[in-house]
Structure 1
Amino acid sequence: MTLVQLRHLISLAETGSFTRSAQALFLTQPALSRSIRALEEELGQPLFDRIGRRSVLTPFGMEALQRARQLVADADDLASSGQQMEAGRTGVIRVGLGAGPGAMLMTPLLRTMAQSHPKVHVDITRGDTDRLVTALRERELDALVVDARALLPAPDLQVSHIVEMRGAFMVREGHPLAQAKGPIRFAAVRQFPIASTPLSDEVARTLVERYGAEAHPTACVTLRCGEISSLVQVAQDSDAVLIAIRAAAPDLVELALKPALNATARFGVVTLARRAEPPALAILRKLVAHLMTE
Structure 2
Amino acid sequence: MTLQQLAYFLALADVRSFTRAAERMGVAQPTLSRQLRALEEDLGAPLVNRAQGALTLTPAGEAVLPLARRMLADADSARAAVAEVVGLRRGRVRVGATPSLCIGVLADVLRVFHDRYPDLHIELSESGSQPLVSGLERGALDVAVLVVPQQGLDVSLEVTPLLRERLSVASPRSEPAPSSRGTLTVTELSRRPLVMFRRGYDLREVTLRAYADAGVEPRFAVEGGEMDAVLRLVETGTGVAVVPDLVFAGRPRLRRTALTPPLYRTVALARRVDIAPTPAVQAFRDTLLEFVAETERIGGSDTDVQVLHRPGPS
Taking structure 2 as the reference length, the TM-score comes to 0.75
Secondary structure class of the residue paired with 1:238: coil
1:140 maps to 140
Per the alignment, do residues 254 and 2 of structure 1 end up closer, same or farther by CA in structure 2, a change over 3 Å counting?
Answer: same
Q: How far 1:16 sits from its partner (Å)?
A: 2.5
Asked if 1:253 is matched to 2:249, the reply is no
Per the alignment, do residues 226 and 41 of structure 1 end up closer, same or farther by CA in structure 2, a change over 3 Å counting?
Answer: farther
2:103 maps to 103
Deviations, residues 207-231 of structure 1 (Å, cap 9, x unaligned):
469x8233xxx73665455632332
Secondary structure class of the residue paired with 1:244: strand
Per the alignment, do residues 53 and 131 of structure 1 end up closer, same or farther by CA in structure 2, a change over 3 Å counting?
Answer: same
1:14 maps to 14
- After alignment, is 268-277 or 221-230 more displaced? 221-230
Q: How far 1:27 sits from its partner (Å)?
A: 1.6
Asked if 1:241 is matched to 2:243, the reply is no
Question: How do residues 147-166 of structure 1 correspond to structure 2 at under 5 angstroms?
Answer: 147-149=147-149, 152-166=152-166
Deviations, residues 255-288 of structure 1 (Å, cap 9, x unaligned):
245x452x33211122233134444322432343
Q: How far 1:248 sits from its partner (Å)?
A: 1.8
Secondary structure class of the residue paired with 1:255: strand
- After alignment, is 114-123 or 237-246 more displaced? 114-123
What amino acid sits opposite 2:234 in the alignment?
Answer: A
Q: How far 1:184 sits from its partner (Å)?
A: 4.1
The share of aligned pairs that are identical, in percent, is: 24
Tell me the distance in 1 between the aligned counterparts of 2:238 and 2:153. Answer: 38
Tell me the distance in 1 between the aligned counterparts of 2:283 and 2:96. Answer: 15
Deviations, residues 149-184 of structure 1 (Å, cap 9, x unaligned):
266543323322533223322333333117x55334
1:169 maps to 169
What amino acid sits opposite 2:255 in the alignment?
Answer: V
Q: How far 1:119 sits from its partner (Å)?
A: 5.4
What amino acid sits opposite 1:65 in the alignment?
Answer: L
Tell me the distance in 2 between the aligned counterparts of 1:199 and 1:212. Answer: 19
- After alignment, is 130-139 or 27-36 more displaced? 130-139
Q: How far 1:291 sits from its partner (Å)?
A: 4.7
C-alpha root-mean-square deviation of aligned residues, in Å? 3.4
8 Å contact from structure 1 (residues 171, 235) kept in 2: yes
Per the alignment, do residues 85 and 287 of structure 1 end up closer, same or farther by CA in structure 2, a change over 3 Å counting?
Answer: same
Per the alignment, do residues 284 and 219 of structure 1 end up closer, same or farther by CA in structure 2, a change over 3 Å counting?
Answer: farther
Tell me the distance in 2 between the aligned counterparts of 1:150 and 1:226. Answer: 24
What amino acid sits opposite 2:239 in the alignment?
Answer: A
Secondary structure class of the residue paired with 1:176: coil
Tell me the distance in 1 between the aligned counterparts of 2:54 and 2:117. Answer: 49
Secondary structure class of the residue paired with 1:266: strand
8 Å contact from structure 2 (residues 158, 271) kept in 1: yes
Tell me the distance in 1 between the aligned counterparts of 2:153 and 2:20. Answer: 64
Secondary structure class of the residue paired with 2:275: coil
What amino acid sits opposite 1:255 in the alignment?
Answer: T
8 Å contact from structure 2 (residues 10, 69) kept in 1: yes
Gaps of 5+ in 1: none
Q: How far 1:42 sits from its partner (Å)?
A: 1.4
Gaps of 5+ in 2: 293-297, 300-314
Q: How far 1:200 sits from its partner (Å)?
A: 6.0
2:82 maps to 82
Tell me the distance in 2 between the aligned counterparts of 1:118 and 1:59. Answer: 49
Per the alignment, do residues 254 and 105 of structure 1 end up closer, same or farther by CA in structure 2, a change over 3 Å counting?
Answer: closer
Taking structure 1 as the reference length, the TM-score comes to 0.79
Per the alignment, do residues 223 and 81 of structure 1 end up closer, same or farther by CA in structure 2, a change over 3 Å counting?
Answer: farther
8 Å contact from structure 2 (residues 84, 90) kept in 1: yes
Tell me the distance in 2 between the aligned counterparts of 1:153 and 1:286. Answer: 22
Per the alignment, do residues 192 and 233 of structure 1 end up closer, same or farther by CA in structure 2, a change over 3 Å counting?
Answer: same
Deviations, residues 35-58 of structure 1 (Å, cap 9, x unaligned):
111111211222223465754333
8 Å contact from structure 1 (residues 129, 150) kept in 2: no
Per the alignment, do residues 181 and 153 of structure 1 end up closer, same or farther by CA in structure 2, a change over 3 Å counting?
Answer: closer
More helix by share: 1
What amino acid sits opposite 1:37 in the alignment?
Answer: R
Per the alignment, do residues 288 and 115 of structure 1 end up closer, same or farther by CA in structure 2, a change over 3 Å counting?
Answer: closer
1:289 maps to 289
8 Å contact from structure 1 (residues 142, 278) kept in 2: no
Tell me the distance in 1 between the aligned counterparts of 2:283 and 2:105. Answer: 12
Tell me the distance in 1 between the aligned counterparts of 2:117 and 2:203. Answer: 34
Secondary structure class of the residue paired with 2:241: strand
8 Å contact from structure 1 (residues 171, 239) kept in 2: no
2:214 maps to 212
